[in-house]
Chains A and B, each alone.
Chain A
Amino acid sequence: MSDVRFGMAIDTRTCVGCAACVIGCKTENATAPEFSRDWIYTLLEGEYPDVRMTIRSERCNHCEDAPCVTVCPTGSSHYGPGGTVQVNPDKCSGCKACITACPYDARHIDPRSGAADKCTFCMHRLESGITTTSCQEICPTQSIYFGDLNDPDSKISRALATREAYVLKPDAGTSPKHFYLK
């Protein structure tokens, strides 16, 4: 996976905020009770009848320049295969520096292990040859694009090449690999 650069994009026009991705992730990754690695963010603007709503499925952005990796004193938070950002729970001390360093509050401590926890882009699936993430698989409106940003023919690269997209908090300087299609 050396020349692969995994990324994700959410189609904010078709995402209805049903939170199936949240449940899908919970089931697939067996996250701790009452904790989740992905979530639905809803922004409602304006006064009735002139209102607009933005719905986003959010998770760790697998930043290119990830402050969580920069601050980790043990090397537990690291850049993994395909340019993803991963946590090695065996090395984690639970110092929580990565949690305060993440501008997106995308991390938490898994109380069962005491280690930092967050979205892995379903690395266990990718490594076993499954090319989708569980949130992508379960999404009833197929609003989640996932794939290789380095491959110009991948579905995500095409979507990003033909549609306008944004990342969250670009001025935090993290270069996210998680996009939102307008």
Chain B
Amino acid sequence: MNEITSTRHNHLIDPTMHVWGWEIPLYLFLGGVVAGVMILTGIRFLRGQGREPSPALALMPWVAPIAISVGMFFLWLDLEHPFNAWRFYLTFKLTSPMSWGAWILLGVYPASILLAWVGTPERHKARIGRWVARIALLRRIEGWAKNNTVFLARLNIVMGAALGIYTGVLLGTMAARPLWNSALLGPLFLVSGLSTGAAFMLLFGLSDDERRSLSRADMGLIAIELGLLGLWMMGLATGGSAAQGALAVILGGPYTAAFWTLVVALGLLAPLAGEWLEYKHGALPGRGTAVLVLLGGFALRWILVFAGQATGWVTEIAMR
């Protein structure tokens, strides 16, 4: 029999850590959606030259600056010393993924706003367009952007990828939390971000062709995501005792039901089956599957952030 007692009972640290609340998964989710939208709209710009996008798709790049602002607001809410947030921008710490993230977030704005502006049909620009035309500096920037759409589209793809990967690397580099400590979390969050980004776009009034191609892409993305989840679990299962103990929280432990039903069954398998059936029968991809993908992407981050904090290194207890 082993019995451990500790006099420590620090709030949010003991008995299990819970310092990151609901704000963090919500931010990671929105970051993923933004990453996906930036990459997909960037690709659309590169491949769709000459083809007229639907009105909804033309305005889609605006999702990035808006959603990332909402996400950053939640991130800011989570800070215990929010009025020191500017300190992120006084330094760049090479070893800190959070520092990378702070600077990536700053790069997301100019890249996405410029691409969104040049893609916006003239009739929507209205008063802001007249305003831009009046200010010399803005006019110059607009002129530069219009001449460099290919560069801007590529920049959106790169920034989106950086954003998507970083949200996973942020957790993946934490050796102290074995459930997170996997290099696969970067690609997993990127692919999940692409999938939720595609699903988010499907909520709007896209053209039939656009819906079909996004839904087809999403099927592939979900399949890759399932594969990455499997590899991640395999890594934990074949790792040391800390990794195996961490995996147990979703294999029999307290997060088992939530993970397998919300993330795997409802969030991945059900929409994959739905999209495949729509494809098989030539039906137009609907919004139901898209909603499931979004809920699944949110559940993945929610469960990982909470379950991961509850895992740690327990191997030392019997050391003599």
Residues in chain B near residue A103, CB distance under 8 A:
175-176, 312-313
8 Å CB contact of A93 from B7, B9, B85, B319: B85
**Cα(A40)–Cα(B4), bound, Å:** 10
**When each residue 84-104 of chain A gets 1 if its CB lies under 8 Å from chain B and 0 otherwise, what string results?**
000000111111110111110
Whether the pair A54, B11 counts as a contact (CB closer than 8 A) is no
**When each residue 26-69 of chain B gets 1 if its CB lies under 8 Å from chain A and 0 otherwise, what string results?**
00000000000000000000000000000000000000000000
How distant is B74 from chain A, measured CB to nearest CB, in Å? 13
Residues in chain A near residue B8, CB distance under 8 A:
36, 39, 41, 58, 105
Main secondary structure of the interface of B (DSSP, over half): loop
Whether the pair B79, A93 counts as a contact (CB closer than 8 A) is yes
Counted as pairs of residues, one from A and one from B, with CB atoms less than 8 Å apart, the total is 159
User: Is B80 on the interface with A (CB-CB < 8 A)?
Assistant: yes
Which residue of A has the minimal Cβ distance to B20?
A96
**Cα(A60)–Cα(B284), bound, Å:** 58
Q: Which of A96, A107, A108 has the most CB of B within 10 A?
A: A96
User: Is A125 on the interface with B (CB-CB < 8 A)?
Assistant: no
Within 8 A of B (CB), among A114-133: 114-115
Within 8 A of B (CB), among A128-182: 166, 168-173, 182
How distant is A161 from chain B, measured CB to nearest CB, in Å? 20
User: Is B2 on the interface with A (CB-CB < 8 A)?
Assistant: yes
Whether the pair B309, A115 counts as a contact (CB closer than 8 A) is no
Residues in chain B near residue A58, CB distance under 8 A:
8
How distant is A114 from chain B, measured CB to nearest CB, in Å? 4
8 Å CB contact of A73 from B17, B78, B88: B88
Bin chain B's interface residue count. Answer: 35 or more
8 Å CB contact of B79 from A40, A95, A99, A169: A95
Whether the pair B81, A113 counts as a contact (CB closer than 8 A) is yes
Whether the pair A71, B6 counts as a contact (CB closer than 8 A) is no
**Cα(A19)–Cα(B81), bound, Å:** 31
Residues in chain B near residue A73, CB distance under 8 A:
88, 91, 93, 96, 98-99, 101-102
Residues in chain B near residue A170, CB distance under 8 A:
316
Residues in chain A near residue B95, CB distance under 8 A:
70-71
**Cα(A168)–Cα(B10), bound, Å:** 20
8 Å CB contact of A70 from B96, B312, B317, B320: B96
User: Is B173 on the interface with A (CB-CB < 8 A)?
Assistant: yes
Whether the pair B4, A43 counts as a contact (CB closer than 8 A) is yes
**Cα(A182)–Cα(B320), bound, Å:** 7
User: Is A44 on the interface with B (CB-CB < 8 A)?
Assistant: yes
Residues in chain A near residue B315, CB distance under 8 A:
169, 171
Bin chain A's interface residue count. Answer: 35 or more
Q: Which of A71, A95, A109 has the most CB of B within 10 A?
A: A95
Whether the pair B317, A43 counts as a contact (CB closer than 8 A) is yes
Whether the pair A100, B96 counts as a contact (CB closer than 8 A) is no
Given A103-B312, A103-B313, does the pair A91, B7 have CB atoms closer than 8 Å? no
8 Å CB contact of B174 from A34, A101, A107: A101
User: Is B211 on the interface with A (CB-CB < 8 A)?
Assistant: no
Given A73-B88, A103-B312, does the pair A36, B175 have CB atoms closer than 8 Å? no
Given A72-B93, A73-B99, does the pair A105, B3 have CB atoms closer than 8 Å? no
Whether the pair B240, A105 counts as a contact (CB closer than 8 A) is no
Which residue of A has the minimal Cβ distance to B6?
A41
**Cα(A3)–Cα(B176), bound, Å:** 29
User: Is A35 on the interface with B (CB-CB < 8 A)?
Assistant: yes
| 7 residue pairs from A and B, CB less than 8 Å apart | A41-B4, A74-B87, A76-B87, A90-B84, A100-B20, A114-B79, A114-B80
Given contacts A43-B317, A93-B87, 11 further A-B contacts (CB under 8 A): A36-B10, A42-B5, A67-B176, A71-B96, A72-B96, A73-B101, A90-B84, A93-B88, A97-B96, A100-B177, A108-B11
Chain B residues engaging chain A, CB cutoff 8 angstroms: 1-14, 17, 19-20, 78-82, 84-85, 87-88, 90-91, 93, 95-99, 101-102, 173-177, 240, 309, 312-313, 315-320
